[in-house]
Amino acid sequence: MFDKDTLNRFYRYCLSLTHAPDTAYDLLQSSLEKVLRRQKARQDRCDELPPLGYLYAIARNAFIDGQRHRTRFPSEPLDEETTGGGAVSSVGFSALEDLMLDRSTVVSLMSQLEASERELLYLWAVEGYTIQEIAEHMHTPRGTLLSRLHRLRARIQRAIAPAFDTPRLKEVAS
């Protein structure tokens, strides 16, 4: 029904919203279930698959609903298994340490972003949509998105700049 490329793009979009692979998979599954249920209800009127933008809107709305629910009814994980603790990797310890440092930096930066900022960054940087396409999808003026993207990029650059700062050499006139 849905081709592999569409499902992969949809999963990456859900991952950009949730920032957790398991939660992204759950969001993808519930969104597709909702789409298929709606399509079955109107089977006599339409046999076409919905466009990707429609899937994105369903997922975004489901994500926002889930966020609201979690703020009203917070929960705590029961054990280490649900938090991902205790995972063992076959990668060497020094490589694992470097990997975790880089991954932790990215995770830290992404966790500081709001869901709408992660969505904008994902659609622009990963999916390659133009700002105009994103503006139409999010029902937001193009200039507003350009401004948000500029501020977002500047904030990310400021956050990662200390990690890449190297002593600068002075130019000497000859």
CA 6 to chain centre: 16
Which DSSP string corresponds to 55-66? HHHHHHHHHHHH
Select from 112, 116, 93 the least CA-distant residue to 104. Answer: 112
Is 64 domain-assigned? yes
Query: Hunting for tokens 């991954």 — which residue is that?
Result: 103
Range 57-70 average pLDDT: 89
Final residue before a domain boundary, out of 74, 101, 117: 74
Model pLDDT for residues 8-60, shown as the tens digit of each residue: 999 999 999 998 899 999 999 999 999 888 877 766 555 566 778 888 999 99
Vertex 63: Cα angle to 105 and 131 (nearest 5): 70
Is 84 domain-assigned? no
Q: How confident is the model at residue 169 (pLDDT cuts 50, 70, 90)?
A: low
Task: Answer whether 49's CB lies under 8 Å from 56's CB.
Answer: no
- Total count of domains within the chain: 2
Final residue before a domain boundary, out of 74, 100, 123: 74
Cα gap 153→165, rounded to integer Å: 17
Alpha-carbon separation of residue 20 from 23, 31, 66, 119 (angstroms): 5, 16, 14, 14
Range 69-79 average pLDDT: 72
**First-residue to last-residue Cα distance in the chain:** 69
Q: Give me the pLDDT at residue 30, please.
A: 92
Q: Give me the pLDDT at residue 115, please.
A: 87
Residues 54 and 116 in one domain: no
Model pLDDT for residues 93-152, shown as the tens digit of each residue: 455 444 444 677 777 888 888 888 888 988 888 888 999 999 998 899 999 999 999 999
Range 58-67 average pLDDT: 90
Residues 52 and 108 in one domain: no
Cα gap 174→172, rounded to integer Å: 6
Structure tokens that stand for 18 in this block: 């949730």
Give the domain range for residue 103.
Answer: 89-162
Final residue before a domain boundary, out of 74, 97, 121: 74
Is 94 domain-assigned? yes
Range 75-82 average pLDDT: 58
Residues 3 and 62 in one domain: yes
Better pLDDT: 125 or 61:
61
